[in-house]
Amino acid sequence: MTAESNNHSGLIRGLGLTAAIAIILGNVIGTGVFLKARVMTCNVGSPGWVMAAWVFAGLLSLAGALTYAELTAMKPRAGGEYVYLRDAYGKITSFLYGWMQIFIAKTGSQAAVAVVFAIGLNDFLDGALKRVLLKLNFFSDPFSVNTIAKLSESQEASLLFSYELTTLQIVAVLMIVIFTTLNCAHVSVSGQVAKALTVVKIGLIAMVAIGAFIFVTGGNFGNFSFLNDGGTCEGVAEGVKYGSAQYSFLAGFAAAMLGALWGYDGWNNLALVAGEVKNPQRNLPIALIGGTILIMVLYVIIHFAYFYVLTPTEIASVSTDSSVAKVVV
């Protein structure tokens, strides 16, 4: 194969600096900033420590971004960690890492994000997506399967488990299919989609933050001096729930940090498409570092808005079926 034909068969460097930053913002900003404030408030009790967790997690992510900025400038090829592991530790290590990402890490994280999107959409539509489309009942004695909605006493006694297919699950699967299809399109299409989604996400954060400080009546900066006192904290373990007898601050802050790090997850995904970024030695470091700093600023601003409108106890008492952002709006 000649050098010319090899160039034609390679990836197209069609992503500029704006698109690269949009990929960072679009991959990172998602469920965490809208859902984790409740759990983190339950973990540490005070607005100050919630903010500290977001800042510390942001600094850790920034340290990673600085490292990746150097790596992507040195090796501006598609593949991200696969490329770095292959060159550092050999093909076996990178091979195993790649398949682990396909079967476990990326698969699980994309499913989780899709489900949270569907839950948020269902919340926005007042529960319209919870309709059961199919219900399967599995029995042990004798082993059988049926789709009966209401079971008799004898059937309930031998019931192993039931599976329900809801509109919520269909929406989640459709989201994965749609965005996978878009990612398979031309690189310029993917870049434009990333830009559009980034505008939407930043717009939502701006809407919540501006609305909280300007349009919401009853907001009070005095909320920042309060602690979570008796919030319901649905689903939060006693050992990491502020105010419980088993509570440990170190464990609680560590749990809050995990929530914040989930909110920053995805900053490294730009490395996966490094082979499609124009002028990679310049644009990749700027996008990685600048994008991570911008996200940290946005996260701190929106959490200021949350605590300006609601007390820590009110935030800790938000239902798991809702979000702090919706309550604020």
Q: What are residue 146's DSSP bridge partners?
A: 137
Q: Where are the domains of the chain?
A: 16-328
The three state secondary structure string of the chain is CCHHHHHHHCCCCCECHHHHHHHHHHHHCCHHHHHHHHHHHHHHCCHHHHHHHHHHHHHHHHHHHHHHHHHHHHCCCCCCHHHHHHHHHCHHHHHHHHHHHHHHHHHHHHHHHHHHHHHHHHHHCCCCCCCEEEEEEEEECCEEEECCCCCCHHHHHCEEEEEEEEHHHHHHHHHHHHHHHHHCCCHHHHHHHHHHHHHHHHHHHHHHHHHHHHHCCCCCHHHHHCCCCCCCCCCCCHHHCCCCCCCCHHHHHHHHHHHHHHHHCCHHHHHHHHHHECCHHHHHHHHHHHHHHHHHHHHHHHHHHHHHHCCHHHHHCCCCCCCHHHHHC
**Share above pLDDT 70 across residues of the chain, in percent, rounded to a whole number:** 94
Q: What is the pLDDT of residue 2?
A: 40
Write the pLDDT tens digit of every residue in 101-124.
999 988 888 898 898 888 878 877
- Per-residue pLDDT band at 58 (split at 50, 70, 90): very high
Q: What is the pLDDT of residue 300?
A: 94
Tokens of 253: 């802050």
Looking at the predicted structure, is the pLDDT value of residue 155 above 80? no
Q: In whole numbers, what is the pLDDT of the chain averaged over residues?
A: 87
Q: What is the pLDDT of residue 144?
A: 67
Closest C-alpha to 41, from 325, 311, 244, 282:
311
Looking at the predicted structure, is the pLDDT value of residue 7 above 60? no
Whether the ω angle into residue 312 lies within 30 degrees of 0, i.e. cis, is: no
The C-alpha R_g of the chain, in whole angstroms, comes to 23
Looking at the predicted structure, is the pLDDT value of residue 297 above 90? yes
Q: What is the pLDDT of residue 147?
A: 74
> What CATH superfamily classification does 16-328 receive?
Amino acid/polyamine transporter I (1.20.1740.10)
Write the pLDDT tens digit of every residue in 258-270.
999 999 998 888 9
Q: How far is Cα 80 from Cα 217, in angstroms, rounded to an integer? A: 47
Q: What is the pLDDT of residue 160?
A: 79
Average of per-residue pLDDT across 185-207:
85
Q: How far is Cα 13 from Cα 212, in angstroms, rounded to an integer? A: 41
Q: How far is Cα 5 from Cα 98, in angstroms, rounded to an integer? A: 27
